Every structure is written in C-alpha cells, then in structure tokens.
C-alpha cells in the first residue's frame, strides 16, 4: 500500500503543527477539543487500517464522556464491540504524534507489521456525542477514513454504548439489527417482556416505602443519553414512568453539576432535578456509559447507589435465577481497587460469589470477566456490564426451552444486557427489572450492605509517568519511598480504623488519584490528607501543598 503525503494530510489541511504529545490511554485520546482535529483525521486513517487488518467493521467514537464540554476525545472499537487491542494502542500513539514527514513511514510500518493487504475495503462505523466540537472532529475522522479508500457508516449523534452495539451487530448479525432503531427496539421490547412477567412482591413490611415504584427521575447530564431516553421513555411508560431532566436539548451545560460522574464524586443530588423526600433518580454521564442511582429518604437524607451497589444487586439476582433454573454455571464479579470494601465483603461472604480485581479501565475488567461463565464487571463510577460465555449462553438457551421460568428470565435478561461495554441505559433497565421482580424500593436495595466511608481526591504532579503500581493498582512500586510511607501510616495512625488507601496515576492527565476508606468519615478525611501530602512531597507536586 502506498501513502502519498498529499492524501494522508488532505493536502496539508490536517498537518501536525503542534508540539503537544498524545498518549492513547484507557479512554483513547482525550484532551481540549481545539487540539484534536489532526488527531481525529489520523485516527480515521488508523481505523481504516484496522478494518483492513481484521477484514471487519471497526468503530470510531468521538466523545470525552464525563469531561467538561470544552474537551473531546476519540477511541477505536474492535469488531465485537470490545476496546481496541493494546498493541494497536501503541500504533495510535505513534500515528497521532508523527510529524507530517514521518507519517507515511509510520503507516507503512503498521501495514508491514500487521500484514495488511489492499484487498479489503475498510468499513468504519462512526458516532459522536453532543459536544459543540464533535461535528468538526467528525468531519476530520471521515476524511481520514476516505483518504485510504474506506467507507463510513455514520451513526450520527449516539451514545457510546450504541456505537459499540452497532459495531458488534455489523460483524455478528445474530447479536441484533445494526441500526440505531435496532438498538432501541431490542432494549424496549426485551424490557417490556421482562416487566410483564416480573413477580412483584405480594406484601411488604412497609408498603409506603419498601415496594417497587415505577416513578423515576432521569438525569441525562445534558448529553446524548437524554436524547436517547427521550426516544425510549414513551414506549416503556406502561412499566416505567420516567421524567427526564438535563436532557441535552439546550437545558444546560454538558456534565456541569449533573450526571453520573458529578453525583458519584460529589455524593450529592444533581442540579436541575427536583429533590423531594421519597424521590429516586438515575444519573448517566455525558455519553451514557456510566450510571448511578440516588434517592432521598422520608427524612430528607441523601443516599448514593453507585456502581458497587448496582453490581451487588445484579450478582445477587443472577445467582438466584441460576439456582432456580438448576444451572451450575460459574458466576463471578470483577471490581477495581475503587470498589468499596463493604461491597466486596458482601459478595464474598454473604452471596458466596468469587470476586476478582483488575486494573482500572474497562478493557482490564472486561478481559478478567471472560474467565467466568457469567462475568459481572463494574467500576464504582457506574461503568459496567455482564458477559456470558458461549457455553453459558447455550446452557441458558437450552434450559429456557423447558418449563423453567428462571431460565426464560435469564435468557431475556441476556438480551437486555449490552455485553459489548458498560451501557447506562441498558443497565438502568436491568436494575428496574430486578427491583420490580423482588418488589424492592430503594431502601430495600440499600440495606444489602452499608458502605464504608470513603473519599477520592486528586493531586497535581509534574509527571504522572513516575508512578507505577502493582496488585491491580492497589500498591505503588514507584516512587519507591511512597508505599512504605503509606504502609507506615496504616500500621500506626490508622491501625484500628479498618482503613485502606491507594494511589494511582490518571490515564490522561498529570494527576494522581488518592482513594481513602475507613470506619469513620473523620478517619477518611485525615487519611486522604496525609496520603495526598506524601504524594505531593515525594513526587514533585504542583501548586499548593494539600
């Protein structure tokens, strides 16, 4: 394959004229939108090469997820809706950073290394979120694909999970219809089927507060999730009465004081959503791949139901259905170091379901979840899904052909779940199915276990690359003096506080995240402060010392 310089820069329109270096991380490239136009063109080139290499449709999503509206980003999606393999992440970094003179050589190296031939026309499925910059970046990505003779399947403005779904369906028609409408129809029809055969509780100890309620406030983060839910809400209103707020149609600023990330980090009710005792709310993030719940009890107290709470609810339900169906399938949960210790203990000790720990980042959790027959993975931030192995899918399908209601329920639940990636809308529908089936209100769900007090803070450093971790990021190996200092803190000042803490570098910025967990909030505050100071002092903190 030949790469003419005028073609691979669109006659200089997408020349690399900046000094900034880019690194393809767990979320792809993500930074200020003004810096990304050339990067998007080059990711169009790379997506076309990846499609040729795999002889399959490849996805390209333009989004910065929960980041502020001034940011944007791009990530590539592999043929079955999974994240792009790590070896190609290195290719992406090289392509993004190459000078104009180097670019043809970098592309030639990829073609040679990956044994790419010209006998397959590239097919790239492209989606974008609602950010003001997304249209310009979309045009750049399309130009990149077409510069190598590829064809674009344009999904328009869609959620990230919908883009993943469409890539999977384009390569595996048995998974569903490869269109925006196909995604919507599959979720709506399966949800209504499950709700119609749910077994609501026949009696409740406290009928006013502990029975399932159809009313749900939806916080769309002023992003694309609100647009998607506006399409679906009227069709599912007989089973779930959604009131949409922060819907993304000029109602407010994307992700500003609303959405899943804000609610999780601030542990507070989203702006733009009325707060009254008894209210329950589900929040998604800007591209609708994260979801968290929250509610206000009768006394006006706020309660957060994050990814850990969702994971334990899902694991308990699946375990129950497998038992009722008589299916001996290995069920497991995958968490990250950010998972609340109380959730891990509940799944291990009460549900007796094995828990594995993976590095932060969906690709790491997804990979570990594949080791189970049915792998549930969730990050505490609300990003997660369930994966069924081929053998588990076959066993459930066979059992569902009998008179087993539980097996039929499992088969329908599998259809409701978006196995390709964490999907806020799919996940919230699954939560509602489980709550209705059990006859639970929010307090019943919340009572499964009680979270340990915790806090997440960030420390700005000169260079995040000096930090290295091990044990699924729960221990820091570099700087060498940091972990011993943390261990000393835990064994002395916080010995009796049931405390744990860890630090890890951000995947996209020169920030270090410090997580602290302990028996009381005062212990948490002090532990987070002490560890933040250690990070600042030992790693060249920037700005004011914590």
**Residues that constitute the known binding site for substrate:** 379-381, 504-508, 513
DSSP, collapsed to helix, strand or coil, labels residue 454 as: strand
- Which tokens go with 440? 């639970």
* Neighbour tally for 457: CB within 10 Å: 17
SS3 per-residue string spanning 322-366? HHHHCCCCCEEEEECCCCCHHHHHHHHHHCCCCEEECCCCHHHHH
Point out the annotated binding site: 65, 285, 287, 289, 379-381, 504-508, 513
Which of 5, 15, 51, 65 is labelled catalytic? 65
Pairing of strands 215-219, 241-245: parallel
- The sign of the CA dihedral 182, 188, 193, 199 is positive
Cα–Cα distance for residue pair 386/316, rounded to 1 Å: 13
Of 139, 78, 131, 87, which Cα lies nearest the Cα of 109? Answer: 87
* φ/ψ (deg, to 5) at 475: -135, 145
Query: Scanning the structure block, which residue is given the tokens 């674009």?
Result: 152
Exposed, middle or buried, 463 (CB in 10 Å: 0-12/13-18/19+)? exposed
Residue 189 · residue 161 · CB < 8 Å = no
Residue 381 · residue 401 · CB < 8 Å = no
Exposed, middle or buried, 277 (CB in 10 Å: 0-12/13-18/19+)? exposed
Element counts in the chain: helices (H) and strands (E): 18, 19
Q: What is the dihedral of CA 272, 382, 212, 349, to 10 degrees?
A: -150
- Which tokens go with 543? 């700005």
Cα–Cα distance for residue pair 437/178, rounded to 1 Å: 30
Identify the DSSP state of 520.
S
SS3 per-residue string spanning 33-81? HHHCHHHHHHHHHHHHHHHHHHCCEEEEEECCCCCCCCEEEEEEECCCC
Rounded to 5°, the CA angle 36-37-42 comes to 95
* Catalytic residue flag (residue 389): no
- Which tokens go with 32? 């200020």
- Which tokens go with 78? 């592999």
Instruction: Point out the residues that are catalytic.
Output: 65
């Amino acid at each position: 394959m030949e790469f003419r310089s005028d073609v691979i820069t669109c006659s200089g329109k997408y020349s690399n004229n900046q000094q900034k270096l880019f690194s393809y991380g767990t979320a792809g490239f993500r930074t200020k939108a003004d810096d990304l136009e050339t990067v998007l063109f080059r990711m169009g080139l790379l997506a076309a090469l990846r499609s040729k290499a795999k002889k399959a449709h490849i996805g390209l999503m333009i989004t910065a997820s929960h980041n502020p509206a001034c940011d944007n980003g791009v990530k590539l999606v592999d043929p079955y809706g999974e994240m792009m393999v790590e070896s190609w992440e290195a290719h992406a970094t090289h392509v993004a950073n190459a000078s104009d003179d180097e670019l043809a050589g970098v592309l030639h190296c990829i073609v040679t290394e990956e044994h790419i031939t010209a006998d397959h026309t590239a097919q790239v499925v492209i989606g974008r979120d609602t950010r003001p910059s997304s249209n310009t970046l979309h045009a750049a990505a399309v130009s990149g694909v077409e510069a190598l003779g590829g064809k674009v399947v344009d999904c328009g403005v869609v959620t990230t999970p919908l883009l993943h779904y469409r890539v999977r369906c384009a390569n595996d028609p048995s998974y569903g219809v490869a269109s925006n409408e196909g995604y919507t129809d599959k979720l709506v029809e399966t949800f209504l089927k499950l709700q119609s055969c749910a077994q609501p509780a026949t009696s409740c100890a406290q009928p006013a507060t502990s029975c399932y309620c159809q009313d749900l406030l939806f916080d769309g983060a002023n992003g694309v999730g609100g647009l998607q839910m506006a399409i679906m809400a009227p069709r599912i209103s007989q089973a779930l009465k959604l009131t949409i707020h922060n819907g993304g149609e000029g109602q407010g600023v994307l992700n500003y004081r609303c959405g899943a990330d804000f609610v999780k980090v601030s542990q507070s009710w989203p702006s733009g959503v009325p707060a009254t005792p008894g209210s329950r709310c589900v929040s998604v993030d800007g591209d609708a791949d994260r979801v968290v719940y929250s509610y206000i009890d009768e006394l006006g107290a706020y309660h957060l139901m994050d990814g850990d709470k969702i994971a334990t609810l899902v694991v308990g339900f699946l375990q129950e259905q497998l038992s009722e169906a008589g299916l001996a399938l290995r069920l497991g949960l995958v968490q990250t170091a950010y998972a609340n210790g109380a959730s891990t203990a509940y799944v291990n000790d009460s549900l007796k379901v094995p828990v594995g720990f993976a590095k932060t980042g969906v690709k790491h959790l997804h990979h570990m979840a594949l080791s189970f027959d049915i792998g549930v993975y969730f990050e505490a931030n609300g990003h997660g899904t369930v994966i069924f192995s081929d053998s588990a899918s076959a066993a459930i399908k066979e059992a569902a052909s009998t008179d087993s209601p539980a097996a039929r329920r499992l088969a329908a639940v599998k259809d409701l779940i978006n196995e390709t990636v964490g999907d806020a809308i799919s996940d919230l529908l699954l939560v509602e199915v489980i709550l209705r089936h059990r006859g639970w209100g929010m307090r019943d769900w919340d009572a499964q276990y009680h979270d340990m007090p915790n806090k997440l803070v960030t420390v700005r450093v000169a260079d995040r690359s000096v930090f290295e971790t091990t044990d699924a990021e729960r221990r820091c190996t570099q700087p060498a003096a940091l972990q011993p200092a943390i261990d000393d803190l835990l064994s002395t000042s916080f010995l009796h506080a049931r405390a744990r803490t860890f630090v890890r570098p951000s995947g996209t910025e020169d920030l270090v995240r410090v997580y602290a967990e302990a028996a009381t909030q005062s212990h948490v505050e002090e532990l987070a402060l002490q560890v933040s100071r250690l990070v600042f002092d030992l790693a060249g903190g920037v700005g004011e010392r914590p």
